[in-house]
Chain A
Amino acid sequence: MNWLRVVRSSVTGLFPRLFRAAPAAPRRALIRCSSGRILICLTAVLVQAVSAVAEPLPRSVLIIDQSDTDSIWYHAFSSAFRSALNTGSMARISVYAEHLDRSRFGGPQHDELARMYLRDKFSKTPIGVVVAQGAGALEFLIRWRAELWPRAPIVFAGVDEATVARLPLPVDATGVTYRLAFRDAITSARILVPGLKRIALVGDPFERQAVRGHYKQELPAFAGELDVIDLMGLPMAELRRRVAALPDDTAIIYTAINVDGAGATYLPNEALAAFADAANRPIVIDAESNVGYGGTGGLVVGAGPIGAETARRVRRIVDGEAASAIPISKGGFARRVFDWRQLQRFAISESSLPAGSEIRFRQPSVWEQYCWQLTGIIVALALQTAVITWLLIERHRRKRAELESRSRMLEVIHLNRAAAAGALSASIAHDINQPLGAILSSAEAAELLLAADPPNLGKVKTILRNIRESDQYASEIIQHLRKLLKPRREVELQEFDLNDAIAGALHLLLPEATKRGVGLIANGLQRALPVRADQVHLQQVILNLATNGMDAMSDSAPGARKISIETALTAKSEVEVSVADSGKGIPDEKLKAIFDTFYTTKQHGTGLGLSIARTIVETYGGKIWAENRSGGGAVFRFTVPLAEARAP
């Protein structure tokens, strides 16, 4: 590339002396061409034919390119040309290239300079075929070939049909033409903007454009149907402003900008990229070299196919075929190409494009790119969702079942408690008549005392106190009973002193114990026993155990009936409550079975009392078991964790 640059600058600027030294050369060539044209041409053909037979052409080709070395068009052309030229052949053909940079340099002086430069440069390098790339290069060659490479046939490329028709082609020239028509650009514009009403023309003024100069003549044909917004020859900054504010139903038709209105030079694709991002309407392009620089698309002429076709012709000629025998290829190199990104930008549906359109730069959607992975993920997600949903439903059902079983259990526990209360109620009723009797008698005593003269008020005071105490005692009993009978929908977890629960249980048990002649002994620890549970439930456990104990002693001698309730601390910060009786004890093999539901030894037992006691104790994290005492009788023990041990 560096070398190419040096060549270009040397042609255009480093040899002013050479340029001045040869002013007469063009004139000589013109004379030779015009005088006796037919004869000369005929002779040339004969000479060529003879020499072709006699002497093969050197296996080298020189490309004279009209553009600058960095031209995208040329690059596409050149790489296709080079790869097509030496494909499938062992006999390689050397390729040289020179650039005229016609868009920026021209005129007789420059041509003269270029001619001398080329003559000197290639004086020792034989050239078999000269390729003219572009109309400018072909014109240059037609003018100077006789002097530079008189024997080398010309293969031209990248020249539009109209130009070829206009130029005086030598006989040994063949080539590849293309056709650029303004009509095609309009067609493309109508594809991109269905209700097209206006076109905005962007590019160098037509008269400065070598290959699109004829657009100026074609334009009036459309003036009736379309409004034309002429943005040609504007400075880039202004152009950007104008293309950003175009009305609807407008398409931009971009030809080529090499020099903008402010004199800045561009490659056509560079210029396109410089304003395309500002445009608010789709841009129609006509050269493949402009695809990918912000143009939306159109019928584009591609340099690649032209390069390949050119290479095939060069090879045929180098291999001995006469250039004059190869017909000029016409057109067929244009394709509809669109830039997917721009289609997206202007929301143009692919389905509105003609069949066979090529869409480039398509960014495959994530779906297209990762179809399998996405399908997998979706399936996995769906499965996961299904599993989670199922689990949630299961969880919900389980929770409901748990709640139901819990409420059932609470009901059963309550029924058991009610039964226990019922069993004790006869005794409790007796117990309640005590304070009631005391109250009645006291009140009547007070009446008598007050009726006396003088009334003994001191005694009445004592009596009133007695009434109050009796009343309190009665209400205590009723409270205990009510607590016991109150149905519970939920467990009421609270921290309380276990001693209180035991005291309450004793209160309820005492009348029954008295009735049955059972001595009730309570030996509690002299300290607070904070536990976390439902107080009534633990009381119920004690009631169940004590009532069981009393039942077990129904056959014992009246004096020997004793229930003793004791508390002790275990090593594991638990409190152990034991309820011991002096009955017959439990057969050793039954010590476990007695806690089973519906296991009973009593004639009217339900078999629920101990089972419920176990359920309650285990609910609060304790254990319950039975033992036989060495001195006779059974002892039931249960543990409850102390609340202080649980606290963090």
Chain B
Amino acid sequence: MSTPGAVIHVVDDDPRFRTAVAHLLEAGGYQVALYQSGDQLLRNSPGDGLGCILLDVRMSGLDGLELQDRLKQMDSVLPIVFLTGHGDIPTSVKAIKAGAEDFLSKPVSKNTLFAAVERALAHCREQRASRGQLDNLRALVSALTSREREVFLLLARGRLNKQVAFELGMSERTVKAHRHAVMQKLKVTSLAQAVSIAERLGMLAAGT
């Protein structure tokens, strides 16, 4: 069941619970990092490695939801599994909407916990993988010249060569040449593939 290399970050201000969960996870073969507060976690920057965060909702100092916010801002890929002693619906809805992986109630059974952790780790893995593909595409797009980028965006939005030439004030032949270069640089063979790249990188959003 264990996932080598994965680190479970446990954040709870109750030392006994923290230790108990750590023992359980370790016994389950996970690597565990313990934090007594959200601040401590932030200071130690858990990084982009494979793992997840087990987070107590209610803590003195920075509470669970606040910490979730901060991690999102930092663009963390670590999925968050919330653990709470007194789960109320508003808090759980808030947490899930903000992207929480799971919301568990204390006391939590081993199976539930491990399942949630596994789901979180799988998600993390996916996240990390998809993040790697996008990085490649981003690198391809960044190789375009500014003219080629303009042409690419207009074509991706479904303009005809003629229309692109008119909008950018160039000849249709020139547009065709740029289009060819773009296809080559993006390593695609059809326009449809190029449009897909633009969409995955979020370049088609209004105003971009």
Given known contacts A429-B86, A434-B14, A438-B17, A445 and B24 CB-to-CB distance under 8 angstroms: yes
Q: Does B110 contact A (CB under 8 A)?
A: yes
Of all chain A residues, the one with the shortest Cβ separation from B14 is A434
In whole angstroms, how far apart are the Cα atoms of A429 and B86 in the complex?
A: 7
CB distance from A150 to the nearest CB of B (A): 150
How far apart are the CA atoms of A437 and B109 in the complex, in Å? 9
Asked whether A437 lies within 8 Å of B85 as measured between CB atoms, the reply is yes
Bound CA span A473–B28, Å: 26
A517 CA to B65 CA, complexed, in Å: 13
- Measured in the bound complex, the distance between the Cα atoms of B14 and A467 in whole Å is 13
Partner of B14, one of A438, A440, A448, A459: A438
- Residue A439 at the B interface, CB < 8 A? yes
Known: A470-B16, A515-B58. A433 touches B23 (CB 8 A): no
The B-contacting residues of A in range 231-290, CB under 8 angstroms, are none
Q: Judging by beta carbons under 8 Å apart, are A444 and B109 in contact?
A: yes
Interface assignment of A514: CB less than 8 Å from any CB of chain B = yes
Alpha-carbon separation in the docked complex, A163 to B39 (Å):
149
Instruction: Evaluate contact between A440 and B23: CB separation under 8 angstroms.
Output: no
B85–A463 touching, CB < 8 Å = no
Interface size on B, residues (CB 8 A): 26
A427-470: contact bitstring with B at CB < 8 Å (1 yes, 0 no)?
Answer: 10111111111111110111011001000000100110011011
Cβ-Cβ contact count across A and B, 8 Å cutoff: 96
8 Å CB interface, B56-71 against A: 58-60, 63
Taken together as a complex, chains A and B put the C-alpha atoms of A452 and B28 apart, in Å, by 10
B93 on the interface (CB 8 Å rule)? no
A40 an interface residue at 8 Å Cβ cutoff? no
Q: Select which of A439, A445, A466 is within 8 A of B107 by beta carbon.
A: A439
Flag whether B26 is at the interface (Cβ < 8 A). Answer: yes
Q: How far is the CA of A440 from the CA of B23 in the complex (A)?
A: 11
Q: B35 CB to closest chain A CB, in angstroms?
A: 16
Per-residue 0/1 for B84-102: is the Cβ within 8 Å of any A Cβ (1 yes, 0 no)? 1110000000000000000
A423 at the interface (CB under 8 A from B): no
Contacts of A435 in B (CB 8 A): 16-17
Task: Pick the contact of B106: A437, A444, A452, A517 (CB < 8 A).
Answer: A437
Asked if A444 and B24 make an inter-chain contact with CB atoms under 8 angstroms apart, the answer reads yes
Decide: B24 and A430 in contact? CB cutoff 8 A: no
- Which B80-133 residues have a C-beta within 8 angstroms of A? 83-86, 105-110, 113
Are the C-beta atoms of B106 and A473 separated by less than 8 Å? no
Chain A residue nearest in CB terms to B21: A441
Q: Which of B16, B59, B113 has the most CB of A within 10 A?
A: B16
CB of A645 closer than 8 Å to a CB of B: no
B177 at the interface (CB under 8 A from A): no
- Complex partner residue of B58 from A446, A462, A514, CB under 8 angstroms: A514
B33 to chain A, nearest CB (A): 16
Report the nearest B residue to A451, measured CB to CB.
B27
Residues of B within 8 A of A459 (CB): 23
Tell me the complex Cα distance, A515–B59, Å. 8
Central interface residue in A438, A462, A469, by most chain B CB within 10 Å: A438
Contact: B20 with A436, CB < 8 Å? no
Of residues A426, A448, A519, which shows the largest number of chain B Cβ atoms within 10 Å of its Cβ? A448
Selected from A427, A432, A437, A466, the residue in CB contact (under 8 A) with B23 is A466
CB distance from B102 to the nearest CB of A (A): 15
Residues of A within 8 A of B (CB): 426-427, 429-442, 444-446, 448-449, 452, 459, 462-463, 466-467, 469-470, 473, 514-515, 517, 519
Given contacts A437-B108, A448-B28, A462-B23, 7 further A-B contacts (CB under 8 A): A433-B106, A437-B107, A441-B20, A442-B19, A444-B27, A445-B24, A448-B24
Please give me the 6 A-B residue pairs with the lowest Cβ-Cβ distance, nearest first.
Answer: A433-B85, A437-B106, A430-B86, A448-B27, A437-B107, A430-B85
Q: What are 17 A-B pairs with beta-carbon distances under 8 A?
A: A433-B86, A433-B106, A434-B17, A435-B16, A435-B17, A437-B107, A438-B107, A441-B17, A441-B20, A441-B113, A445-B23, A448-B24, A448-B28, A466-B19, A466-B20, A466-B23, A470-B16
